[in-house]
Amino acid sequence: MVRTAVLASGDGARLQAILDAVYFNEIPNFELVAVICPQRGCYAMNRALNAGIPAYVVDPELFPNMTSHSMAVANKLKDMDIELVILAGYDVPLGVVPYQFKNRIIGTYPALYPAFNDLEGDPVAMALESGLRVTGATAYFSDGDGRVGAVILQRSLEIADEDTVETLSARLMEECEWPLLSEAVTLYCAGRLFVRGRRVEIRPLPEE
């Protein structure tokens, strides 16, 4: 079993995809050990506890700087013997965590990377402001700086004329980010992901 922890903030909407996968036993060889949040009482934490998953708080305000906070998060993950880390809307800098969990941190990005990656602002809003007809989402391994690294999977989504930031964000999450996150984690737990530089190779299923 791949011992996994989720780093989550805010409302935990992305976390819900993983909690649903656990409930329906959709990911073979997967064990969700814990959810770690930066704030006590956030809805992400409530989602985890309501699903029977242990939830912990590592509060940045209790540390002198972000480096020491990230070291505390990394040490917590190591203490629980975590192999895979999932980012679910985590809004705190990862610091040293990506260096200690190289190619073992999976997240999603609400655009077809590298679209809007070097710009400040919401990629969903920028897609609408740019007049795009198609956007999408990306599942990735975190790089050493905690940003989008090697791309695992991508899925496109047509932008409707009536879409707003709110409706497009919701559709991207439900139709792209949730399934991509579950699929990427499933491939990882099956041992089918191999990172070669910036490229992720998906190994075929073994022949029966």
62 vs 73: CA distance, rounded Å: 12
The answer, yes or no, to whether residue 206 has pLDDT greater than 90, is: no
pLDDT tens figures, 23-66: 999 999 999 999 999 998 899 999 999 999 999 999 999 999 99
CATH number for region 1-101: 3.40.50.170
At residue 44, what are phi and psi to the nearest 5 degrees? -60, -40
Q: Which residues contact 198 (CB under 8 A, 6 or more apart)?
A: 149, 150, 151
Distance of CA 8 to the CA centre of its chain: 9
Decide yes or no: CATH 3.40.1410.10 for domain 108-138+155-208.
Answer: no
The answer, yes or no, to whether residue 208 has pLDDT greater than 60, is: no
Domain boundaries along the sequence of the chain:
1-101, 108-138+155-208
101-126 average pLDDT score? 94
Element (H, E) at 142: strand 134-142
- Domain 108-138+155-208 in the same topology as domain 1-101: yes
pLDDT tens figures, 75-95: 999 999 999 999 999 999 999
113-122 average pLDDT score? 90
74 vs 200: CA distance, rounded Å: 24
**Residue 207 — pLDDT band, cuts 50, 70, 90?**
low
23-32, 82-91, 135-144, 196-205: segment of lowest average pLDDT? 196-205
